[in-house]
Amino acid sequence: MGEVFAAHDEKLDRTVAVKVIANARLDSEASRKLFLREARAAAALDHPFICTVHDVLDRGGEPVIVMERVEGETLQQRIARGAIPTDQLVSISVEVAEALAAAHARGIVHRDIKSGNIMIAPSGHVKVMDFGLATIVSSSPDEATAHRSEEISARIVGTLPYIAPEILRGENASPASDVYALGVVMFEMATARRPFDTRTDALLMSDILNREAPSPRKLNPALPRTLDELIVRMLAKDPARRPAIAELQSQLAAKPEKRQRSLAVLPFQLLTHDAENVHLGLALADAVTSELALVQSLLVRPTAAILKYQTTSDPIAAARDLGVDAVVAGTVQRAGSRLRVTVQLVSASEERPLWSTKIDTTFEDIFAMQDEVSRKIVAALQLELTPRDEQRLAKRVQASGDVLDLIIRGRVTLLTETIAAVNEAIENFERAHELEPENPLPLIGLSDAYGRLAYTWDPEGGWWERAKEMCERALAFDPDLPEGHYMQARIAWTPQGGFQHEYAMRELVAALGERPNLTEGFDWLATLLFHVGLIEEGSEQFARAISINPADATALSHSIVLQLVVRRYDEVLRGADLLPKGSDSSWADYVTVLAHLHLGDLAAAERLIDTASRKFPTQILFHCGRAILEALKGNEQAAQQAIERTLRNRKPYGHFHHAQFDVACALAVLGRNDEAVGWLNDAVHGGFPCLAAIENEPLLEHLRGASAYRSLVARLRQSRDHFASLWTTLKPRLTSLS
């Protein structure tokens, strides 16, 4: 409509925006008068979500609007980075609707609501811009007639993709026209596309007038059904069918009903017992779990969470213990390659079976059995498979009966993470690979097993290289295999892989978008986010892992360290006490040592270092913990000896950067600042560029004034901001739990 300038208001000493309207746009004196009248009406609007109009001037016949200068980005710019998560979509829509309600109450219709006219301020709140096209909705028939005669030559005003059908038909704008435009904006936020977006204006006008708006949920299955239905109503051709602004506000304010249900598949009970089939009950449970875990609206406890129920005879007690709505329980009898399986779905609240069946099948038809059981369970729980769910189920990789048997044996064996178990799993995966050389599942199993060997026991044994080779071979057969992307991330986020933070983050999001119940994927993602300085974001993903498996020892023990970073040392100790009984984690002991050190309880820290060093003799973290202890006691010689032990026992373990960080803390306590900064830089380059850890650490207090320390912090702040921006673009790709 004209040009906009930043200007200084000398009277009130503030920066404002000045919009100069080109005379060519207002080609008559009547048009200029009408425009000034409407702009002054907009200036009367005083609302936190509307850009304030400070003044409207007539500069030699040229209208000038003086407005609030709004910082931030337009909603259009935000949508260009991808669809907006549901909670943010709703909060933005609520504020725009509130702004429109305030305008409509004063008889003002905006007429140009679009994503480019909605600003997101740094606070996160919106500002609706540009009421320059606003129309006064007159109540007097005579006034309305005069108004239409002034406006008739420029009735179709606005931005075409957002213009309501009635305006294209030649009718006047009304509040319902703004509701339609907001519906287009909400569709755009949900899908990163407009409902009608053809290449020419003529075709676009035809679509707006004649085609029914598509369902945004077809493009974004994670969108709640109630929100999908509301957007479709807002885009109705008939203005009378659209919700009034008050109804729209009410529906947006209503909390969408949670559709997600929770479930666990208990190990199937064997009716015949022999050594050959001892794995079968757990194997079938794992197979059904893997299938059901593909359904977005169903939270499924992983196989690791149901190991202790292999001999249970009370499914209702198990359901309550696991904290789920229902459990799947069953029996299995094997005769050669034939299986007789009985399955029932038991409700925890109703304490009765909701559905049961008996299936005679073979290992060759095990996929058909999984599919039948899964779909009947979904129906019994009154869930709905989304198009995305159907796509996941259709894309799952299959295997023949004997190969599937070996793959399941390998997966189940890996649940017990000992050297013997990992080697047994490798043998099963190798035999499966020999039978089906082009099936990617045995290769992914081998990659996982080799990765565990490298991570836990032998980082210098060449196992990471083998894990990488197996993963690459699997992805050569199926480039979209989610488990392949998960392993790619694990391999890349190691010392051997160079701690490729960004690449690993993208690969984990790709895997989790297709496997929404992959607990260990959330564990790795949370750990990675914390390491690059995104503390709250990491905490969210640990919480998500724990929501899938409340007994997830990795998530529970590793999430404690986030409390350490924000100096909640008492919370660290409480969290360690709440770990599941039987959890024997060197990481939890290590973090507890650090909490005692920071609380000044050196005696408790020393006792735990002594016992943990005996329990975990190869764990170097207790050597560097001792270095801090001795430094705090003022014993520089003993601290130096502990640092040297840390170096002598160094191997390319994934967590060595924490040892480097701790050595830096010990050296800073001793006043050896240059050495301390050097070790901090080593920790950063070794995979721990965590700004919060370095800024918040009280043991580094003596380094604050050092220029090298300040330079490091500045670099880490840039790094943190980069990863925060990246996470903003990646997070919406994770399957939301609606």
Please write the tens of the pLDDT for every residue from 155-177. Answer: 455 688 999 999 999 888 899 99
Domain 261-396 classified CATH 3.40.50.10070?
yes
pLDDT at 152: 36
Strand pairing partners for 269? 331
- In order, the DSSP letters of 649-706 are T----TTHHHHHHHHHHHHHHTT-HHHHHHHHHHHHHTT---HHHHHH-GGGGGGTT-
DSSP 8-state assignment for residue 134 = -
Catalytic residues: 112
Residue 684: which of 673, 674, 694, 695 has the closest Cα?
Answer: 694
Q: Collect the ranges in the chain with pLDDT lower than 50.
A: 138-155, 258-259, 737-738
Residue 486: which of 518, 522, 511 has the closest Cα?
Answer: 511
Residue 632: which of 656, 653, 651, 605 has the closest Cα?
Answer: 605
Residue 74: which of 48, 51, 101 has the closest Cα?
Answer: 51
* CA–CA separation, 730 and 211 (whole Å): 33
Query: Whole-prediction pTM value?
Result: 0.63
pLDDT at 473: 95
Q: 74-253 maps to which CATH number?
A: 1.10.510.10
| CA 184-188-189 angle, 5° bins | 120
Which backbone phi and psi does 66 adopt, to 5 degrees? -105, 120
pLDDT at 386: 75
Helix 440-452 vs helix 463-477: crossing angle, to nearest 10: 160
Domain 519-731 classified CATH 3.40.50.720?
no
Question: Is residue 535 within 8 Å of 524, Cβ to Cβ?
Answer: no
* CA–CA separation, 353 and 355 (whole Å): 6
Give all strands (DSSP E) within 425-478, no chain letters.
none
What are the boundaries of each domain within the chain?
A: 2-68, 74-253, 261-396, 519-731
Tokens at residue 417, please?
């993470």
CATH homologous superfamily, domain 2-68? Phosphorylase Kinase; domain 1 (3.30.200.20)
CA 122 to each of CA 70, 71, 74, 126, 735: distance values in angstroms, whole numbers, following the listed order: 9, 7, 11, 9, 26
pLDDT of 688-704, one tens digit each?
Answer: 999 999 999 999 999 99
* CA–CA separation, 245 and 97 (whole Å): 7
User: What's the full length of the chain, in residues?
Assistant: 738
Strand pairing partners for 56? 65
